[in-house]
Structure 1
């Protein structure tokens, strides 16, 4: 598999986790409660928000990592998953097919073919260790899963995630970029994201309780 992520892709989310907020002041604080902060930035080109989440989960980083990355376990805890499967895997780089129930009545499922890579990154201090998980649309001339006529294939998806051990469990950072396509009004997409994004860490934390060892 070719290289899909740059050194900066791995570095910048670590910087922001350490900072505790976005580096750019263009991001506006949207939610600040229960030790979770959600920042939003409106992409004027698409009319869609991007989101950055800072929070903490009361489980060890390895448990959180497995909960997030175990494809078979995700089928059990993520109610929006219609189908998810590993297409290719090589060391720390995976290619995954993901069929998502979009959560809006009468709206077709969205499906993704995306690559995911994780890396353990050392910080400046000896005790600083970060687990960085990067995902984005798999861009290749090789069509691994043909588009389905009843689903909308998503392009332009990116997600940057960082985990770091803390006194209470794991500090977590997520930057999410999603362009679900189709003819859904951007206002409806933004409304759905506003409803779901702040609750995401709670869903992950609950899933960590029953994560298989």
Structure 2
């Protein structure tokens, strides 16, 4: 078992079906081709890569890449609009028709809609927790050292750069994907904001390029990623109870069909949020009623692996345990 505690990464490797081997070969070769096409640097010497990184460094601008105040305002406005619709009587709800309901529970709702730029989806989660505080929930998402302890899929998670003016940070995150796929790495800028008057906390993250994190041949770089988390306290930031809205887009660049990726995200996101919830609960001493707030046990119909059997089914199903967000 490797240092991250995932037995799928044992030195001896588990036995893999012919389909799994084919996926590995396809991902391996496609990943090499894609990385070569993107920047042409992998065949160059270290000197050439260093020069390219220096050029990117000259181009990196906090003024352009920082998370702006207006983005927080937009996130809060979206939360308020959705909040009014979610708690209206069913007949009166008027969610945009492009949003498809995936899960609908009293304290956990998941929607998705197709992206205009391709076959993938944007996801939106609206939920409630009644046994932890808003501050715990935010802190567990921004504390990189703590995440290395509670998220067994983390290979690397470091803050690369900070902008003291705006409070934005650049983070490098490498996470395991189910064998035989490569690990994925993300470089993203993030910033959070709290407003005690409106009783909201907002965390915005999106992918960027940064000279301190050049692409690595062992990982697949995820270049399209964005997440917005809005937390609204029921009382105060340090009292238990809050609602949250997560809006999330991610292109993991896998060789699986896109409908399989959609199923993996739809199934894996509730599990990841519950893992986040447990980590927040374990981080402090807050106590309260643990009602229907958790997302554990929510199931999504599986259109992708229903025809698979044995090892193929297991390899595809592993993907739901490797879903998360930064």
TM class, shorter-length: 0.7 to 0.9
Aligned-partner SS, 1:160: strand
In structure 2, the residue corresponding to 1:88 is in which secondary structure? strand
User: Does residue 166 of the first structure (1) align with residue 243 of the second (2)?
Assistant: no
| Shift of residue 8, structure 1, vs aligned partner | 4.1
What is the RMSD of the two structures over their aligned residues, measured on CA atoms? Answer: 2.2
Query: What is the CA distance between 1:182 and its match in structure 2?
Result: 4.6
Residue matched to 1:111: 185
Whole-Å Cα distance in 2 between the matches of residues 26 and 2 of structure 1? Answer: 34
CA contact (8 A) 2:98 2:114 kept: no
Q: How is 1:14-93 mapped onto 2 (pairs within 5 angstroms)?
A: 14-19=76-81, 20=83, 24-43=96-115, 45-57=117-129, 58-91=131-164, 92-93=167-168
Distance of aligned partners of 1:29 and 1:43 in 2 relative to their CA distance in 1, 3 Å threshold: same
Counterpart secondary structure, 1:171: strand
Which of 119, 137, 146 is residue 214 of structure 2 equivalent to? Answer: 146
Q: Aligned-pair distance for 1:199? A: 2.4
Matched pairs, number: 206
**1:129 corresponds to 2:190:** no
Pick the structure with greater CA Rg.
Answer: 2
Asked whether the equivalents of residues 16 and 23 of structure 1 are also in contact (C-alpha less than 8 Å), the reply is no
Secondary structure at 1:112's aligned position in 2?
strand
User: Deviation of residue 202 (structure 1)?
Assistant: 1.4
**1:100 equivalent in alignment to 2:175:** yes
For residues 212 and 93 of structure 1, do their structure 2 counterparts lie closer, same or farther at Cα, with a shift above 3 Å needed? farther
Task: Name the SS for the 1:2 alignment partner.
Answer: helix
Contact 1:67-1:73 at 8 Å conserved across structures? yes
Deviates more, 1:84-93 or 1:50-59: 84-93
Match of 2:63 in 1: 2
User: Contact 1:66/1:211 (CA < 8 Å) preserved in 2?
Assistant: no
Query: TM-score when scaled to structure 2?
Result: 0.58
- In 1, are the aligned partners of 2:140 and 2:276 still within 8 Å (CA)? yes
Gaps in structure 1 of 5+ consecutive residues: none
- Structure 2 CA distance for partners of 1:66 and 1:11, relative to 1, 3 Å: same
**How far did 1:203 drift?**
1.4
- Which runs of 5 or more structure 2 residues have no equivalent in the other structure? 1-61, 87-93, 286-326
| Higher RCO (CA < 8 A, seq sep 6+) | 1
Distance in 2 (alpha carbons) for counterparts of 1:73 and 1:90: 22
Q: Cα distance, 1:23 vs. partner?
A: 6.0
Aligned-pair distance for 1:87?
Answer: 0.9
Task: Determine which structure has the larger helix proportion and give its number.
Answer: 2
TM (normalized to structure 1)? 0.87
**SS of residue matched to 1:146:** coil
The structural deviation recorded for 1:18 is 2.1
